[in-house]
């Protein structure tokens, strides 16, 4: 019986699309789906059959007591029965996100074997490790003894370690450094039973991978290229920085390095209570304890406690880029942390000795736990010392001085504000020295304030919010300044680099788009022999090239390899953009990934004839131009009269205003690029000297001679001659043919494809290029179509019946794709404002809504 209520079409479409996406994602991973389904069914069934909410934890999840009582079934049930439905949901998501790609990579049989071995042996090894803890740390051991485990992340991490044995070198190194570093940090700072099982599972997984695939080539084990060494060191420092944060935010940190959590969660005191205690016994330990507790009271102090960790996270970005200043800063930070840990141990030892002399029986393991945090900064400092040669990039000229000025200014401004506020509250300047000292103490993270006597009672003369957050404001400024310094690229350009590049381009030639490398927005790298160069710009750590290498064709492969080494030395990821099929083959030979990013339309002038039905629109544009008295006139934009120039500028501004978006750059030139005297300009002009359209053409050189021309700039007056652009392109082609040139390139159409496939280049669409990336780029092209019309542009060019050549983007590391996407977007739209971004999203959304309504 129909209810008369039909689901909304957009909901049906969205549900169908989601189901199709889920089906595509899970294809080829039956074992993962079975494990996820078994976990869901088993969890729901067990919870439905028992009313005891603790039944699963007591009887089915893994624990030390369970195995001591010979409950061996928990090795299996702890894998598939979750303690509650929230944990079940998170587990299923984890399996779908991580288990599916792992199974695809390993194959179902190998994946199933790895899951079984890692889950069982990892659990047994983890529990054995937990039992051994009690022999040297009773407090930690007692907490582990009452813990239970249901953590699919443990065996997933172990299986990932096993799978890494057959992964490409880059991913193998990252997994084999990142996962163990994270596991060690969790075990030491959080110290739960699941953390120890996770650490043991990772070790077991490493052994399983060795058994399945044999030992790894020693040269590929960990070290690798200088760029990879930097990344791995940054991961290690990052893991050490996040450990204290983990201990602070955790409510049940039990690990040996988790003393920070206990230190910062003391019982709260009020200012009145402290004042009352200290007024009667100013030197008592109770007074000191109260003063100390006030320094930890409030969210601001909690944030301030992890400020050093946040600064280290910022420094990690500089380490990733190979900055010498980042290496020095990280080493100094580790030495400071080591010194602070030594002072903390010394202070605790003094207190422990005083109590022991008084006859109080104390557990010596607490002193051992207090000394344990010494190990982390010492180990990280040793790693930094041994990898010093990987960090050789100096900061840009003046960057360090500018950063120091910014930090000094922030310090002076905040200090003045703090002292002035306190003095006005006290109605006297008598406390200025104490307020100045107190301000300095506000900058020190709470855990280190125990070494200093407070200058003033907390909140004595300044508002509570300022007392808590003034230090946080300084550290945020410091982190932002340091990050800005690392984000500034280091260039080593010479004043005549642009002239050298142009000379090489004229002498040796390049691709049809290579003249764009002469534009002012480029930087240049030259081969050691000076015969080739690559034009590039650095955006967010991505060295984005303008087409491929320029120089003798036989040297292109060596140039690409040397440019990649140059980028690695500078901490950048190279990305060859808008390259030809030949250059892509060079990149593929290096093991790089390649993605199809557009089509170049080319007219061969030797056989050019605008005859036949296919060229009806072109002939019509000629006939209409003759009827309206419009002629095509060659000129140079730099030499045109002011009247003509003003018209061209007005036409360009009208086009930009109509888009309500900024004019695109990068591989799309504008009026500035037309100023080049070597660029030819063709205008459609009538008898009244009114300009109806304009195109610009870039020369293409081969062996010192111009052999073709590439279309760059094209605009038409909205109220003028309609087919002005068709008329100009056809007129230019006829003119170039009469001058004896070989071809005309109508340039590329970004994010658009011709009807033919890229197999015409002799390359497979899937060679080192994952299909999802191609699909993502297609989706971006469709989304931007209402605004910039890339596909419409390609369709317009098809009127001239050109042949097509694919353009590619090649890069060495697929993990850099998000950064590459950001770099390409910022290169094309470097001056996009927030309002224009909102307009772009609104236009895309409106276009999609209109399309759905039409369906």
As a whole number, mean pLDDT of residues 652-662 equals 72
* Alpha carbon distance 698, 713 (integer Å): 9
What is the percentage of the chain residues whose pLDDT exceeds 90? 17
Distinct helix (H) and strand (E) counts, the chain: 35, 13
pLDDT, one tens digit per residue, over 602-635 is: 999 988 888 778 888 888 888 888 888 899 999 9
Question: Please, which pLDDT band fits residue 363 given cuts at 50, 70 and 90?
Answer: low
pLDDT, one tens digit per residue, over 537-596 is: 998 888 999 989 999 988 999 999 999 888 887 878 899 998 988 899 999 888 888 888
Helix (H) or strand (E) holding 684, with range, is: strand 680-685
Q: Is 0.75 surpassed by the pTM of this model?
A: no
Contact assessment for residue 130 and residue 196, using Cβ atoms and an 8 Å cutoff: yes
- One DSSP character per residue, 93-162 reads HHIIIIIHHHHHHH-HHHHHHHHHHHHHHHHHHHHHHHHHHTTT-HHHHHHHHT-EE--HHHHHHHHHHH
Contact assessment for residue 584 and residue 808, using Cβ atoms and an 8 Å cutoff: yes
The whole-number pLDDT of residue 768 equals 41
* Alpha carbon distance 627, 687 (integer Å): 12
Residue 56, pLDDT > 70, answer: yes
The whole-number pLDDT of residue 339 equals 80
Question: Please, which pLDDT band fits residue 276 given cuts at 50, 70 and 90?
Answer: low
Query: What SS3 state is found at 102?
Result: helix
How far is Cα of residue 839 from the mean position of the Cα atoms in its chain? Answer: 25
As a whole number, mean pLDDT of residues 640-645 equals 90
Contact partners, residue 272, CB within 8 Å, separation at least 6? none
Task: Give the helix ranges, DSSP H, for 358-398.
Answer: 365-371, 375-386
Q: What mean pLDDT is reported for the chain?
A: 79
The whole-number pLDDT of residue 360 equals 47
How far is Cα of residue 299 from the mean position of the Cα atoms in its chain? Answer: 29
Residue 277, pLDDT > 80, answer: no
The whole-number pLDDT of residue 222 equals 42
How many residues does the structure list for the chain? 855
The whole-number pLDDT of residue 773 equals 58
As a whole number, mean pLDDT of residues 651-680 equals 81
Question: Please, which pLDDT band fits residue 254 given cuts at 50, 70 and 90?
Answer: low
Q: What is the 3-state secondary structure (H, E, C) of 809-828?
A: EEECCHHHHHHHHHHHHHHH
The whole-number pLDDT of residue 459 equals 52
Enumerate the β-bridge partners of residue 148: 63
As a whole number, mean pLDDT of residues 478-498 equals 81
- Angle, helices 152-163 vs 169-185, to 10°: value is 150
Question: Please, which pLDDT band fits residue 320 given cuts at 50, 70 and 90?
Answer: confident
Task: Give the residue with greater pLDDT, 316 vs 457.
Answer: 316
Enumerate the β-bridge partners of residue 533: 526, 550
pLDDT, one tens digit per residue, over 735-778 is: 999 999 999 998 876 665 665 544 444 444 433 444 555 665 66
Closest CA to 550 of 520, 522, 511, 579: 511
* Alpha carbon distance 776, 202 (integer Å): 33
Residues 849-852: contacts with CB within 8 Å, 24+ apart?
852/9, 852/10, 852/13
Considering Cα of 566, then 570, then 573, then 575, what sign does the dihedral take? negative
Contact assessment for residue 484 and residue 300, using Cβ atoms and an 8 Å cutoff: no
As a whole number, mean pLDDT of residues 790-800 equals 74
* Alpha carbon distance 632, 654 (integer Å): 21
Enumerate the β-bridge partners of residue 192: none
- Angle, helices 152-163 vs 85-94, to 10°: value is 10
How far is Cα of residue 19 from the mean position of the Cα atoms in its chain? Answer: 29
Contact partners, residue 216, CB within 8 Å, separation at least 6? 165, 172, 210
Residue 456, pLDDT > 60, answer: no
The whole-number pLDDT of residue 372 equals 63
Residue 196, pLDDT > 80, answer: yes
Question: Please, which pLDDT band fits residue 373 given cuts at 50, 70 and 90?
Answer: low
φ/ψ of residue 514, rounded to 5? -70, -25
Question: Please, which pLDDT band fits residue 272 given cuts at 50, 70 and 90?
Answer: low
How far is Cα of residue 56 from the mean position of the Cα atoms in its chain? Answer: 40
Residue 455, pLDDT > 70, answer: no
Considering Cα of 402, then 406, then 407, then 409, what sign does the dihedral take? positive
Contact assessment for residue 217 and residue 101, using Cβ atoms and an 8 Å cutoff: no
The whole-number pLDDT of residue 784 equals 59
The whole-number pLDDT of residue 356 equals 56
pLDDT, one tens digit per residue, over 29-45 is: 889 999 989 988 988 88
* Alpha carbon distance 679, 585 (integer Å): 31
Residue 825, pLDDT > 50, answer: yes
CA-to-CA separations, 78 to 64, 350, 573, 768, in angstroms, rounded: 13, 46, 43, 39
The whole-number pLDDT of residue 223 equals 41
- Judge residue 781's burial from the number of C-beta atoms within 10 Å of its C-beta, 0-12 exposed, 13-18 middle, 19 or more buried: buried
Enumerate the β-bridge partners of residue 702: 705
Contact assessment for residue 708 and residue 512, using Cβ atoms and an 8 Å cutoff: yes
The whole-number pLDDT of residue 221 equals 44
Least confident of 293-302, 346-355, 401-410: 346-355
Helix (H) or strand (E) holding 320, with range, is: helix 307-320
What one-character DSSP code corresponds to residue 393? B
- Judge residue 570's burial from the number of C-beta atoms within 10 Å of its C-beta, 0-12 exposed, 13-18 middle, 19 or more buried: buried
Query: What SS3 state is found at 654?
Result: helix
The 3-state DSSP composition of the chain as helix, strand, coil percent (nearest 5) reads: 65, 10, 25
CB atoms within 10 A of CB 322: 25
Residue 675, pLDDT > 50, answer: yes
Residue 359, pLDDT > 70, answer: no
The whole-number pLDDT of residue 707 equals 93
Closest CA to 780 of 802, 814, 745, 753: 753
Question: Please, which pLDDT band fits residue 463 given cuts at 50, 70 and 90?
Answer: confident
CA-to-CA separations, 71 to 65, 74, 105, 129, 473, in angstroms, rounded: 9, 6, 34, 18, 54
Considering Cα of 341, then 344, then 349, then 350, what sign does the dihedral take? positive
CA-to-CA separations, 101 to 31, 38, 112, 171, in angstroms, rounded: 12, 19, 13, 13
- One DSSP character per residue, 406-471 reads HHHHHHHHHHHHHHHHHHHHHTSSTTHHHHHHHHHHHTS-GGGGGGS--SS-TTSSS-HHHHHHHH
Helix (H) or strand (E) holding 725, with range, is: helix 724-738
Residue 131, pLDDT > 80, answer: yes
Residues 22-28: contacts with CB within 8 Å, 24+ apart?
25/96, 25/100, 26/96, 26/100, 28/100, 28/103, 28/104
CA-to-CA separations, 250 to 142, 179, 245, 247, 813, in angstroms, rounded: 18, 20, 8, 5, 35
Residue 536, pLDDT > 90, answer: yes
What is the percentage of the chain residues whose pLDDT exceeds 70? 75
Beta strands in 618-668 (DSSP E): 631-635
The whole-number pLDDT of residue 224 equals 46
* Alpha carbon distance 95, 150 (integer Å): 14
How far is Cα of residue 169 from the mean position of the Cα atoms in its chain? Answer: 20
Query: What SS3 state is found at 600?
Result: strand
- One DSSP character per residue, 755-787 reads SS-GGGGT--TTTT--HHHHHHHHHHHHHHHHH
Closest CA to 147 of 101, 89, 78: 78
- Judge residue 535's burial from the number of C-beta atoms within 10 Å of its C-beta, 0-12 exposed, 13-18 middle, 19 or more buried: buried
């Amino acid at each position: 019986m129909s209810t008369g209520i039909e689901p909304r079409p957009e909901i049906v479409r969205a549900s169908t699309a989601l189901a199709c996406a889920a089906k595509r994602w899970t294809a080829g991973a039956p074992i993962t789906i079975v494990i996820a389904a078994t976990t869901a069914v088993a969890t729901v069934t067990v919870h439905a059959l028992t009313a005891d909410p603790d039944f699963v934890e007591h009887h089915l999840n893994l624990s030390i007591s369970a195995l001591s009582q010979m409950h061996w079934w928990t090795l299996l049930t702890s894998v598939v029965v979750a303690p509650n439905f929230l944990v079940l949901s998170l587990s299923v998501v984890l399996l779908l996100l991580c288990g599916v790609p792992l199974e695809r990579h390993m194959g179902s049989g190998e994946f199933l074997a790895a899951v079984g071995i890692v889950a069982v042996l990892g659990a047994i090894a983890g529990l054995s490790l937990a039992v051994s803890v009690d022999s040297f740390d009773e407090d930690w051991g007692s907490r582990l003894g009452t813990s239970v485990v249901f953590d699919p992340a443990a065996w997933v991490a172990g299986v990932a370690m096993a799978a890494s044995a057959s992964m490409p070198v880059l991913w193998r190194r990252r997994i084999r450094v990142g996962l163990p570093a994270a596991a060690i940090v969790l075990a030491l700072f959080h110290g739960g039973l699941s953390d120890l099982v996770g650490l043991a599972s990772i070790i077991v997984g490493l052994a399983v991978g060795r058994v399945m695939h044999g030992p790894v080539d020693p040269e590929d084990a960990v070290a690798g290229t200088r760029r990879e060494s930097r990344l791995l060191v940054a991961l290690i420092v990052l893991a050490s920085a996040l450990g204290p944060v983990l201990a602070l935010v955790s409510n049940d940190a039990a690990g040996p390095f988790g003393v920070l959590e206990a230190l910062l969660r003391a019982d709260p005191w009020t200012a009145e209570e402290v004042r009352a205690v200290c007024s009667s016994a100013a030197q008592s330990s109770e007074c000191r304890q109260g003063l100390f507790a006030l320094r930890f009271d409030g969210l601001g102090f909690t944030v301030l406690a992890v400020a050093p960790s946040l600064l280290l996270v910022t420094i990690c970005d500089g380490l990733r880029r190979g900055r010498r200043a980042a290496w020095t800063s990280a080493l100094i930070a580790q030495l400071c942390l080591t010194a602070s840990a030594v002072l903390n141990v010394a202070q605790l030892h003094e207190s422990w000795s005083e109590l022991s002399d008084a006859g109080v029986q104390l557990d010596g393991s607490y002193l051992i736990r207090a000394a344990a945090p010494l190990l982390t900064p010492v180990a990280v400092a040793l790693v930094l010392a041994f990898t010093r040669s990987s960090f050789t990039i100096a900061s840009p000229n003046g960057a360090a001085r500018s950063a120091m000025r910014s930090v000094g200014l922030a310090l002076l401004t905040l200090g003045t504000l703090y002292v002035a506020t306190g003095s006005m509250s006290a109605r006297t300047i008598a406390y200025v020295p104490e307020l100045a000292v107190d301000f300095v103490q506000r900058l020190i993270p709470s855990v280190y304030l125990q070494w200093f006597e407070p200058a003033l009672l907390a909140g004595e003369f300044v508002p509570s919010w300022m007392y808590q957050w003034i230090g946080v404001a300084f550290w945020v400024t410091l982190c932002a300044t340091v990050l800005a310094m690392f984000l500034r690229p280091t260039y080593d350009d010479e004043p005549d680099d642009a002239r050298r590049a142009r000379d090489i381009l004229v002498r040796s030639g390049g691709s049809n788009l290579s003249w764009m490398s002469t534009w002012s927005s480029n930087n240049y790298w030259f081969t050691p022999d000076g015969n080739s160069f690559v034009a590039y710009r650095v955006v967010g750590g991505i060295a984005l090239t303008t087409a491929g290498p320029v120089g003798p064709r036989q040297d292109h492969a060596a140039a690409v390899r040397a440019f990649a080494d140059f980028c690695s030395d500078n901490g950048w990821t190279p990305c060859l953009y808008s390259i030809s099929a030949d250059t892509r083959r060079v990149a593929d030979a290096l093991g790089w990934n390649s993605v199809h990013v557009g089509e170049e339309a080319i007219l061969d002038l030797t056989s050019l004839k605008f005859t036949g039905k296919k060229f009806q629109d072109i002939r019509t544009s000629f006939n209409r131009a003759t009827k309206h008295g419009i002629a095509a006139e060659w000129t140079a934009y730099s030499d045109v009269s002011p009247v003509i120039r003003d018209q061209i500028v007005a036409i360009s501004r009208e086009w930009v205003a109509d888009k309500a978006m900024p004019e695109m750059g990068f591989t799309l030139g504008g009026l500035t690029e037309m100023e080049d005297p070597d660029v030819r300009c063709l205008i459609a002009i009538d008898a009244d000297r009114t300009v109806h359209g304009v195109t610009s053409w870039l020369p293409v050189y081969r062996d010192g001679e111009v052999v073709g021309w590439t279309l760059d700039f094209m605009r038409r007056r909205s109220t003028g001659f309609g087919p002005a652009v068709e008329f100009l392109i056809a007129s230019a082609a006829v003119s170039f043919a009469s001058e004896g040139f070989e071809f005309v390139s109508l340039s590329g159409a970004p994010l658009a494809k011709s009807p033919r496939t890229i197999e015409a280049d002799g390359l497979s669409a899937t060679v080192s290029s994952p299909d999802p990336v191609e699909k993502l780029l297609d989706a971006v092209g469709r989304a931007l179509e209402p605004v910039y019309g890339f596909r419409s542009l390609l369709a317009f060019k098809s009127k001239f019946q050109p042949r097509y050549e694919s353009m590619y983007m090649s890069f060495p590391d697929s993990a850099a794709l998000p950064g590459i996407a950001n770099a390409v977007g910022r290169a094309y739209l470097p001056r996009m404002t927030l309002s224009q971004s909102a307009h772009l999203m609104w236009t895309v959304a409106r276009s999609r809504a209109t399309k759905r309504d039409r369906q």
